[in-house]
Structure 1
């Protein structure tokens, strides 16, 4: 009888596994549904600069992988969720970081996506506050859908733009090496 009770308790604890991941003092869901796409949390971490936690970031994919190049080259649904955890993040600082990220992601070759980058920059001109949440959702054929606190702010078309955008966190010169490793599920 004790064996059966232990077995039932073990099954219940597996079934009640957390549907969320706590990182950087905030909670990220372990799965997301965007339209017809179900995505799972591939990995999550914290963007840190000068020992200050700036935001928690999670990478969501349809199939988990730890290969950054596979993710960047894939024309599949995916998303990055950014949860701002510092009062130090402002729109200007976010724009500076995004601009630097695009330069690093593309090895300085942004001319072919300059119009898309301008559209993306315009989406971050509104004030950014602690606890704001940004969802950057790539939907093949539609583009990158940008949500702020669940509200759609705009769509930027193009797979090349998606590669450069996701490259900010996953390319050879990412915004934060530790965050890249965490998003790839390696830490």
Structure 2
């Protein structure tokens, strides 16, 4: 019994160490795994629109680069985590914002990845609720694994798609400038 109590106390004391950051009440893990590699939290921030918090976005890399273009162009395991903090995000709104993000990230040239974008939009067909978590995990030579609440929904695209997807948050025309800086750890 003494060992159980000791283990419980240790887990309670050490568990805050597993969280690297808290943003908008969301605890962001400091690491995650992808393709057998440990990815480290680069940074995290909040996506706001019309003074409302929409989601917390976190960037995970192995390299630790704070250069947005280096991250976008890196052909190595990386991930973006989106934790919904608003119950007002609908599937339609998420699809619309994501489509706009792809247009911005590609300078309007979405034609080469149109089929991948359409497949990606399929992930947002289901109802989106507050506290839903989307993990967008790039695995070289495989594509982007898309998880919703830790369940694999699809694997989409290639490196070209990954660049456009990560560009939604990290390109020269990101979804939100201060979110980009926060995700890069700046």
Same fold (TM over 0.5): yes
Q: CA RMSD in A?
A: 1.2
Q: Distance in 2 between matches of 1:18 and 1:52?
A: 29
The answer for unaligned runs of 5 or more in structure 1 is 1-14
Q: Deviations over 1:119-175 (max 9, x none)?
A: 001111100000000000000000000000000000002100000000000001100
1:41-52 matched pairs, under 5 angstroms: 41-52=41-52
Q: Deviations over 1:39-80 (max 9, x none)?
A: 000000000111110000100000211100000111010000
1:150-165 matched pairs, under 5 angstroms: 150-165=150-165
- After TM superposition, the runs of 4+ consecutive aligned structure 1 residues lying more than 4 A away are none
The answer on 1:98 being equivalent to 2:109 is no
- Which residue of structure 1 lines up, in the alignment, with residue 115 of structure 2? 115
Q: Distance in 2 between matches of 1:165 and 1:60?
A: 14
Aligned residues: 172
Q: Secondary structure at the match of 1:22?
A: strand
Deviation at 1:19, TM superposition (A): 1.9
Q: Which has the larger radius of gyration?
A: 1
- Which residue of structure 2 lines up, in the alignment, with residue 7 of structure 1? none
Q: Secondary structure at the match of 2:121?
A: helix
1:25-174 matched pairs, under 5 angstroms: 25-174=25-174
TM-score (normalised: structure 2): 0.90
Q: Distance in 1 between matches of 2:39 and 2:136?
A: 13
- After the TM superposition, which of the residue ranges 25-34 and 162-171 deviates more from structure 2? 25-34
Q: Distance in 2 between matches of 1:65 and 1:127?
A: 34
Q: Deviations over 1:85-144 (max 9, x none)?
A: 001111010000100000000000000000000000111110000000000000000000
- Which residue of structure 2 lines up, in the alignment, with residue 10 of structure 1? none
Deviation at 1:18, TM superposition (A): 2.3
